[in-house]
Structure 1
Amino acid sequence: MVFALSSTLQLALPATLDPAAERELSRRFDGRLAGIDEAGRGPWAGPVAVAAVILDHAAVPDGLADSKTLSEARREQLYEEILATAVVAVALASPREIDARNIRAATLQAMARAARALPLAPLACLIDGRDVPPDLPAPGQAAVKGDGRLLCVAAASIVAKVTRDRLMTRVDSLFPGYGFAGHKGYGTAQHAAALARQGPCPLHRRSFRPVAVALGLREA
């Protein structure tokens, strides 16, 4: 079936993870249906990581689910299986981009970059959340709680989460004392104490209130 290019789609999407329904949906787009999701919108430090994934529905890893419902070990295992069987691209929105654009705009731009970086051009994109990013390479449709409803979005959520967690673990040694390997930049008590003690580092998002307070740019 051929679809005219438009900015948004209006597909009937599954309410829960349904391999058969999603396989049929993918067939309508010649197997080039991309799921897009992000990890790291809320942290005080580090980038947002976005993944775009086109699944091979003849080789979908067992157990795909919203990354937040999986253990770290299971996410790591599925990450490797997804990379081995699917078409995958990742994009990052840096802390400076987040500060310059705002978190929503920076995340949407990273989503478009990830979709455009796919080695196989998608014919349709399904995006977790309420927004369809501008500049997608194909028509898109937002899906609230899509990571719990769509296998391709669940796969993207896993790739984005593991990518970001690994990055934050690696940078822990570059910026010691903050505990990035543990909290991954999220707003924990340990992170708040380190921020008060050491001040922000280059990974911190200066537009986020706790960091701005530490810089003296806002009142507590």
Structure 2
Amino acid sequence: MYFDKLAVKQNLSLSSLLEILSDVLYRYSKHDSTIEQPLRSILSIGDKQNALLNLPCIDSQLGYMCVKTITSFPESSPAIDGAVSLFDSNNGRLLLIADAQEITARRTATTSFLATNLLAISKWTDEQKRNATLTIVGCSTQGEAHLDVFTELFKWNKIYLWSRTTKNAINLQSEYSKKLNNIEIVEDLNDNRIQESDVICTCTASEQALISLKQVKKGVHIN
């Protein structure tokens, strides 16, 4: 059975994913022997930064084995492609293969929300929750995934989008305009609205810092 991007999005419940990640990450942090995640293997290709990566893991408590195989070609579009293969850890049978891009995007964004909930939201007062502001920096694959996950799992008073390519922010705002009417585009990260943010999600591969401490308020949570 193969799940493409659309099938993954339609069938991977965010609430279930949040629950599973919370359990697995907790057990992994406690060095639970039922979870094994060896280091990824990386095969460099040619003299560029291109690579083939394999990321295996096993959770014998849940009864699954998994390996994510992806290619990383920074100059290509998409830069990352691949598949996730899921096996039964009791008999070794292949259960399904799914698109790695969508699973990775949703897993990463949901893990960000889990951290945000544990370190910030759970400590807020009711008033802080009602007035909470979210800023997403970067509006490509991860930016869209974070907007999708964060708005599905929590109700934000205001949402700001910034992208180096403003068109990406405009497109993302337009895509979500039917269900969210509180999204604004920020064209300059020095905008005072950034200082209003309670949570900032950095969804960019920039090698340079985009936001300084002077641009955020005390107590802000940054993913």
Smaller-chain TM-score bracket: under 0.3
Larger RCO (CA under 8 A, 6+ residues apart): 1
TM-score (norm 1): 0.25
Query: Whose helix proportion is higher, 1 or 2?
Result: 1
Structure with max Cα Rg:
2
TM-score (norm 2): 0.25
Query: Whose strand proportion is higher, 1 or 2?
Result: 2
